[in-house]
A and B are shown apart, each in its own frame.
Chain A
Amino acid sequence: MRIESRADFEALQEQARQSAGSHGQQILVCCGTGCLASGSKQVAETFAREVAKRGLDASVGTFVKTTGCHGFCERGPLVALLPSGVLYTKVKPANVEKIIEKTVLGGEVIPSLTYKNPADGERIAAYAEIPFYKHQLRVAMRNIGRIDPTNILDAIAEGAYAGLAKALFEMTPEQVIEEVAVSGQRGRGGAGFNTSRKWRSCRRAPGERRFVLCNGDEGDPGAFKDRSIMEGDPHSVLEGMVIGAWAVGAHEGYIYVRDEYPLAVVHLTIALEQARSHGLLGANIMGTGFDFDVRISRGGGAFVCGESSALMRSLEGKIGEPRAKYVHSTEKGLFDLPTVLNNVETWAGIGAIIDRGGRWFAAMGTERSKGTKAFSLVGKVKNTGLIELPMGTTLRTIIFDIGGGILNDRPFKAVQTGGPSGGCVPEALLDLPVDYERLTEAGSMMGSGGMIVMDDRTCMVDVARYFLKFLTEESCGKCVPCREGLQQLLHIFDRLVEGRGRPDDLQIIERLSHGMQLGSLCELGKSAPNPVLSTLRYFRSEYEAHIHHKACPAGICRELTAYEIVPELCDGCHACFKACPVDAITGTVKELHLIHHDACISCGACFDVCPTAAIRTFPKVELKTEVV
């Protein structure tokens, strides 16, 4: 049905709600990329088959729905049951029959499939009670996991396009921009530029033709919030873009998605078609006479194309390289025409802001960072996954309450925020409220919302080197400081981790880093030294140990680290013997094992498997003196 008026839209809303409410029981199977990889497609198919076989869809109104990412990827495949609100984790096709018999038909919870809280070993059945979800507040991800992303009616039943209807029928473009200004929303792509200011400046730019773009080129290692939004609720992104287009007076839009996100592309394509056929996109939207259409452009895989000017060059079909932005893209952007570019998460929040009001959004968060923010929580935490919280939530809450603490209860060392160009925040700053300003002050940044948690088995020099290597490969090479500077930094870090550091290396690193921050053309180069400078700022002694003592205090850098077995702790379980890839360990079961240093490659495999923590690391230099 094509919507020609507000009454049409309201009728469709009503119809969608009734249809959604008609199901007695809903079985929501997470089919986000994470759960799909753990086999959720088979689970969903088994459910559908079983429900059809038993005729439950007709008799008790049971409905199987495949949804987007629930965020708790660590425990996938996830299955949520409505209306009971029970969440089952790590569900296999073999569990399906039992779930239907016991829970769907019998109303009983199956304890073995529920979430086990690692903090106290308690089983928690209710979705909302699980600590991972309890602290969250979802705006951009409001419908993800609740709707079938390939069904527009399902999204409309949950409120999609209500904000658009309000904007088109009740508000002028200026009022829309004002409402976004009241919300105080800032760009979710990382830089945190005020959304309404961007829109206003584009609206004021002279000329007829202008563009609205969505940046879905999320390329940071460990970040996947934009992917989950595009996969799980593509309509929220579209709705935001149509509202934005109405506000700035654009009739053409592009979504730039990285090609490594095939499911996002599929779901966006379906959403575009459905929105068009319902009159929510294309010519004469909702019968108002306003035209706006969106096309999907798939990125070729360059990290730098997430940078706004490089993204626009890439959309134009040119080499994706940044250029000076002395004239703002709101005046001269894509094809040198006025352009608004916002991140996926920014767009996803717009519909809710217009629907519920800017004040509602501004009531959440901190003074200068309003609303909620999505984060990809990964690394050495017990509960990895995708979360959304009010700005100003402390790192401690995120890592220990939501993340459930550090894996294997090892000590926390640092958390890297903001992707490869972000910085490492140490334990002393765990109570830091997370917002744009505080993270920048701490030498890191909001960036894409990636959070990589590190434990004591992390060498900060090695971490900085890892990010440098990533950036060296992703620098476009247009400007000298970024291209040559990153390569030279990597040279120095290669020296450091191999114990060939020189006394003046830290000075050279600092000088070069500052030169890159000042001199680079785009934000990639300007922020590339962040991982280096932040680890130097908080973990300088580790660098000094690498240079002056040829030692890696964390026992990670292979060239500097030796392993040995502490005789008193070894119970002869033979696990290390089996784990060693180079047969450097000798010993028979129930007897003391021995590591042979001449054969050992310091990979740490034995360390990771030892159940009695009998393996310790020590600097290799001590070994050499012993031998001599």
Chain B
Amino acid sequence: MPTLTVNGKKVTVGNDAVILDAARAAGVHVPTLCQFDGLEPWGGCRLCVVDMWQQGWDADWFKMVTACNHPVADGMRVVTASERVVETRRVVLDLLLARCPETPLIQRLAAEHGIAATSYEPNPTPTDCILCGLCTRVCDHIGVSAIASVNRGWGREIAPPFHEAPPDCIGCLACAEVCPTRCIPYSEGAGKRRIWDKDFEMLCDPVTGEAVITKAQAEHFAGRSGVPQGYFATSDTSKRRVMAATFSKLTVVK
């Protein structure tokens, strides 16, 4: 269990922890955009940069690393808001604000770092996508990989193959829900769901009639887990009712 300091505060964290875990344990906020607990860290947004020193290094020599994926080590010293760290975050947010001038999340983060307007050429076709890759990573994680990043450099974008309705998509909405700027559109209604230009049939709860899950998603989960498909079509309301019925039969012992 390595012990390290974050802004002077001593914390002990698990062997597999990264600097971000240590910062959280120390109660220090480090801004992030492309990080999501439960997904592999990616290190793309560069917002979580911190200064870091390790045992055996020259006393005044710090290395700038991303907190989301750098492993901790015993005796490590982390400084989360040195001058160059804050400056680097400002440059990153300034650039993102040029890319996404109308996105509330970016506007707020930029404002928090003292940036009211971008220093750069604002994007003539504003987008809300910051290319954090969370949507494609969560899709990979679920084992579907229906969408991916295409092209490189500033032409990079998130898209289904050939910009057509993705054959592998199961309509689970994980991409839309994980998106920090909520920029993946979808619509629901009348037992249907539509995302990435693909229509999905919803499975409805046999008791309440609520639309619960897409048929494709239930099939995917059933196939992976071996649990019968019907289980996934049970709505939360139904589950609560079953639970309540179970509780009502219990005798409470005082």
Q: What is the interface of chain A, defined by CB distance below 8 A to chain B?
A: 302, 304, 319, 323-324, 326-327, 472-481, 483-488, 491, 508, 511-512, 514-516, 518-521
Can you name 7 A-B residue pairings with CB atoms under 8 Å?
Answer: A474-B153, A477-B156, A479-B45, A480-B95, A483-B153, A483-B156, A508-B120
Closest CB in chain B relative to A533 CB, distance in Å = 15
A304-B152, A483-B156, A485-B91 known; 18 new pairs, CB 8 Å cut-off, are A326-B69, A477-B152, A479-B43, A479-B44, A480-B45, A480-B46, A480-B47, A480-B96, A484-B98, A484-B154, A512-B120, A515-B87, A515-B91, A515-B92, A518-B88, A519-B46, A519-B64, A521-B43
Contact A484 B95, beta carbon cutoff 8 Å: yes
Closest CB in chain A relative to B210 CB, distance in Å = 39
Closest CB in chain B relative to A299 CB, distance in Å = 14
Chain B stretch 37-54: residues in CB contact (< 8 A) with chain A: 42-47, 49
B131 contacts the other chain (CB 8 A):
yes
Given A474-B152, A518-B64, is A488 in contact with B95 using a C-beta cutoff of 8 Å? yes
List chain B residues, Cβ under 8 A from A481. 46, 88, 91-92, 95
Interface size on B, residues (CB 8 A): 37
Contact B92 A519, beta carbon cutoff 8 Å: yes
List chain B residues, Cβ under 8 A from A302. 152
Contact with A along B100-141 (1 / 0, CB 8 A): 000000000000000000011100000000110100000000
The 3 closest A-B pairs by CB, nearest first: A515-B91, A477-B156, A484-B95
Contact A476 B45, beta carbon cutoff 8 Å: no
Contact A324 B70, beta carbon cutoff 8 Å: yes
Given A326-B71, A515-B87, is A488 in contact with B120 using a C-beta cutoff of 8 Å? yes
List chain A residues, Cβ under 8 A from B130. 480
Contact with A along B60-94 (1 / 0, CB 8 A): 00001110011100000000000010011011100
Contact B91 A487, beta carbon cutoff 8 Å: no
List chain A residues, Cβ under 8 A from B84. 518
Contact A477 B71, beta carbon cutoff 8 Å: no
Contact B155 A477, beta carbon cutoff 8 Å: yes
Contact A486 B43, beta carbon cutoff 8 Å: no
B99 contacts the other chain (CB 8 A):
yes
Given A327-B71, A483-B131, is A516 in contact with B119 using a C-beta cutoff of 8 Å? no
Closest CB in chain B relative to A219 CB, distance in Å = 13
Residue on B nearest A525 in the bound complex, by CB: B46
Distance A262 CA – B193 CA, assembled complex (angstroms): 49
Contact with A along B206-245 (1 / 0, CB 8 A): 0000000000000000000000000000000000000000
Contact B46 A477, beta carbon cutoff 8 Å: no
Of the candidates A326, A476, A479, A511, the one whose C-beta lies within 8 Å of that of B46 is A479
Closest CB in chain B relative to A312 CB, distance in Å = 16
Given A323-B43, A518-B84, A519-B91, is A475 in contact with B66 using a C-beta cutoff of 8 Å? no
Closest CB in chain B relative to A529 CB, distance in Å = 12
List chain B residues, Cβ under 8 A from A479. 43-46
Closest CB in chain B relative to A304 CB, distance in Å = 8
Contact A480 B92, beta carbon cutoff 8 Å: yes
List chain A residues, Cβ under 8 A from B120. 488, 491, 508, 512
Chain B stretch 149-180: residues in CB contact (< 8 A) with chain A: 149, 151-156
Closest CB in chain A relative to B136 CB, distance in Å = 10
Contact B133 A478, beta carbon cutoff 8 Å: yes
List chain A residues, Cβ under 8 A from B153. 472-477, 483, 486-487
Distance A511 CA – B90 CA, assembled complex (angstroms): 10
Distance A324 CA – B43 CA, assembled complex (angstroms): 7
List chain A residues, Cβ under 8 A from B131. 477, 480, 483
Residue on A nearest B49 in the bound complex, by CB: A519
Of the candidates B44, B70, B88, the one whose C-beta lies within 8 Å of that of A515 is B88
Residue on A nearest B88 in the bound complex, by CB: A519
List chain B residues, Cβ under 8 A from A521. 43-44, 46
List chain A residues, Cβ under 8 A from B45. 479-480
Distance A515 CA – B95 CA, assembled complex (angstroms): 10
Distance A477 CA – B153 CA, assembled complex (angstroms): 4
List chain A residues, Cβ under 8 A from B46. 479-481, 519-521
List chain A residues, Cβ under 8 A from B99. 484
List chain B residues, Cβ under 8 A from A475. 152-154
Distance A474 CA – B84 CA, assembled complex (angstroms): 27
Closest CB in chain B relative to A157 CB, distance in Å = 45
Contact A512 B155, beta carbon cutoff 8 Å: no
Residue on B nearest A520 in the bound complex, by CB: B46
Distance A521 CA – B91 CA, assembled complex (angstroms): 14
List chain A residues, Cβ under 8 A from B152. 302, 304, 474-477
Distance A319 CA – B121 CA, assembled complex (angstroms): 29
Of the candidates B69, B88, B119, B156, the one whose C-beta lies within 8 Å of that of A324 is B69
Distance A508 CA – B87 CA, assembled complex (angstroms): 13
Distance A514 CA – B94 CA, assembled complex (angstroms): 14
Distance A302 CA – B88 CA, assembled complex (angstroms): 27
Given A478-B133, A484-B96, A520-B46, is A472 in contact with B88 using a C-beta cutoff of 8 Å? no
Contact B43 A477, beta carbon cutoff 8 Å: no
Contact B91 A512, beta carbon cutoff 8 Å: yes
Closest CB in chain B relative to A268 CB, distance in Å = 27
Closest CB in chain B relative to A325 CB, distance in Å = 10
List chain B residues, Cβ under 8 A from A519. 46, 49, 64, 88, 91-92
List chain A residues, Cβ under 8 A from B154. 472, 475, 477, 483-484, 486-487
Distance A511 CA – B148 CA, assembled complex (angstroms): 32
